[in-house]
Chains A and B, each alone.
Chain A
Amino acid sequence: MALTIKRPGMLALIQDQGRRGFQQFGISSSGAMDKRSARLANILIGNDSSAPVLELTLSGAEFFINETILIAICGADMEPVLCRDVQDSIRTLPLPMNRPLLICEGTMIRLNRIKEGCRVYLAIEGGIAAREQLGSCSTDVRAGLGGIDGTALQHNDVIKRVAPISSPDTDTRVNNQQSFKKRLKEELERGPASNKQQAAYAATSWFVDVHRLFGDHRREDGEETYNKSSFNSKDLQAIRTIRIVQGAQFDRLTSESQQLLLTSYFQVSPQSDRMGYRLQGAELKLKTDEELLSEAVEMGTVQLPANGQPIILMADRQTIGGYAKIAQICSVDLPLLAQMRPGELLAFTVISQQEAEMLLIQEELGFEQLRTAIDLRINMKHAE
């Protein structure tokens, strides 16, 4: 009975690292849009990397905390705040992100407003207890799989955590997570006397500096691009550079379109969602308009449909696609893309397959080091 959803916000879903192994039967891989933040939130509190988490889109979500619980909040900055007293939702405390938090029973968490990014990930101790189907708890709304009942979360839905089975033989990790929680609780109770009665949460002093670790690829608007004048100055303030590898059908683009792909700004359109991001910008053309046969795709595959506006396939994409594949977003830039909101601008830059692979390997190795460092802090031994 860990939390109860008071308001789901724009979209609230239970997700994990995705459903793999069944794409050949038409089962989408689903999973968190920003898998990096979901993974980080779990690591911060000693969960399995792929434990189910809450994916909250934009702001407005509110939930009651029904029991004192260990959590972490990663991803977008939607100004998470804590209401000490559910009766009094005006007086709030800001909650720090990217670190373990112990939240007291009887409080309420709210995502106050959009500051930065698009999707927030909330991990709870032990992971969210959800329906595992075909190897994953990820919610696939179209197929009705995973989550609580295969649908988006709504007002009054109760989120339960996977309870640890406490016995002397229990997994060390679970035991250590519990003693970490206990230590944080003691820290909470040890707080300044004046705050003792009002103690609502405890946080660690250490945290993960995500911007330093992963970067945010902001590009200075000084570079020559094709269609700068099509966008207003507010939009131009935050342009993300997204790295791509040329797709199998990149050469089918006219040479003019190849140039346009790499020198224009594209805007994330309002018709962007978990299935795919539709981009608006320069119209791209293929040399011939022959129909292509459908074939398998991947998250980050950039397709070009007849209207000349690229679509980037995302977590809930269908397993088969028939449009030309002009590019592939490199894996390490997918979390960045998942944090872009409609209206924001991006520009593509080409890297080689080798570079894309090395970036991914480096990130994986980095995560292993991070896991070790965090486990040391919370005194755990953990196998990935």
Chain B
Amino acid sequence: MQRFISIQLPNGKRDSISSRELEISFAVEPLGEKAVLLRFGDQISDKLYSQVALVKKALEDHQIIGWTECVPAYCTLTVYYNPLAVWRSRSEREQQDNTIFDTVCTRIAAALQYNLVDQIQQSHSELGNQRSGILEKGINETGMFELPVCYGAEFGPDLSFASKHCKRGEQEIVAIHSATVYSVYMIGFTPGFPYLGGLPESLVLPRRAVPRMSIEAGSVGIAGSQTGIYPQATPGGWQIIGRTPVLLFDADRRPPSLLSPGMKLKFRPIEKQEYYSILECPRQQMDYWREAEKWH
């Protein structure tokens, strides 16, 4: 049962919305009886993801009845809900719906139709009234979150391997890795673990032939065309090139993850001294967490 939702945004309502961004559309499919998956496409692209991020924000700010939570991914957004609450709140017309899934989809479409314009307006004003469409550029290009990382030596035991494999000096590897702006597509695999997009092709590395029994918490690594950070110590096969002293996951904070879906991330190279200074100073840790809150 392939169902599509198409949100038409009013044309000519305000001058700053370019004529190209008049429609967001996605397929919807049930994921069990308590979730619906919104499918925007099947590729990793900032453009697709910006739709995911926009819809996520609009739905989080205007939660449908029975809303539990939502989980974004590369080009999908999954909305979890309480089916009994939806069923109980159905209008007479909605009771004619074939499934509770159908009712939820209609309500999501209505919430978006109503609220998405405001969302885009808001994002536009954040970009400072730029003419080109927010859906093309991707969200929040004016700001990015900087994460300090100490590269190489005991913090990045595989940096020398990376250097040999990519046929560039270690300094150059660090320069390329830290010059790139990465997109945080989603958090998963383990609590606080970010799936980052945007690793330059020049830094693609194979996984380690023999995985390590334990990788230190905060380790920054590369595996294939993915780069990421291990929030907790764990066994793993990624090539580790550096380590961040900032805590990535704290169960006592809300939200408990430093990084969040939709964030733009950049790695800032630091020396060993600064690494230990941040590691041991709760106030500096707090500064990074406060900075990250702007993206939630």
Contact = CB atoms under 8 A, between A and B. Distances in A.
Interface in A310-358: 318-320, 325, 328, 330-331, 353-354, 356-357
Interface string B210-247: 00000000000000000000001000000000000000
Contacts of A133: 251-252
Contacts of A134: 251, 256
A207 interface: no
Contacts of A145: 251
Interface string A48-61: 00000000000000
Contacts of B189: 26, 318-320
Given A22-B69, A145-B251, A320-B189, A331 B31 contact: no
B267 interface: no
B133 interface: no
Interface in A199-254: 245, 248
A328 to B, nearest CB: 5
Contacts of B252: 133
A22 B255 CA distance: 8
A298 B32 contact: yes
Dominant secondary structure of chain B at its interface with chain A: loop
B155 interface: no
Interface stretch (B33-41, B106-114, B200-208): B33-41
A301 B251 contact: no
B188 interface: yes
B261 interface: yes
Interface residues of B, number: 48
Nearest to B76: A295
A353 B30 contact: yes
A165 interface: no
Interface in B114-164: none
Residue in B73, B76, B83, B252 whose Cβ sees the most chain A Cβ within 10 Å? B73
A24 B187 contact: yes
B42 A293 contact: yes
Nearest to A249: B29
Contact of B31 (A20, A24, A301, A364): A301
B152 to A, nearest CB: 28
Interface residues of A, number: 38
Interface centre among A26, A295, A331 (most CB of B within 10 A): A26
A20 B79 CA distance: 12
B100 interface: yes
Contacts of B260: 24-25
B74 A26 contact: no
Name which of B30, B37, B74, B98 has the most chain A CB atoms within 10 A of its CB.
Answer: B30
B208 to A, nearest CB: 20
B182 interface: no
Given A21-B68, A23-B71, A293-B73, A319 B188 contact: yes
A296 B33 contact: no
A26 B71 CA distance: 9
Given A26-B191, A143-B191, A361 B83 contact: yes
Given A295-B76, A353-B1, A356-B33, A21 B44 contact: no
Interface of A: 20-27, 133-134, 142-143, 145, 245, 248, 293-301, 318-320, 325, 328, 330-331, 353-354, 356-357, 360-361, 364
11 contacts: A25-B249, A26-B188, A26-B192, A27-B256, A248-B29, A295-B76, A320-B71, A320-B186, A320-B195, A331-B33, A353-B101
Given A142-B190, A357-B101, A361-B84, 17 more contacts: A24-B70, A25-B187, A248-B37, A293-B74, A296-B76, A298-B34, A300-B32, A320-B73, A320-B189, A328-B32, A353-B1, A353-B30, A354-B98, A357-B99, A360-B84, A361-B100, A364-B84
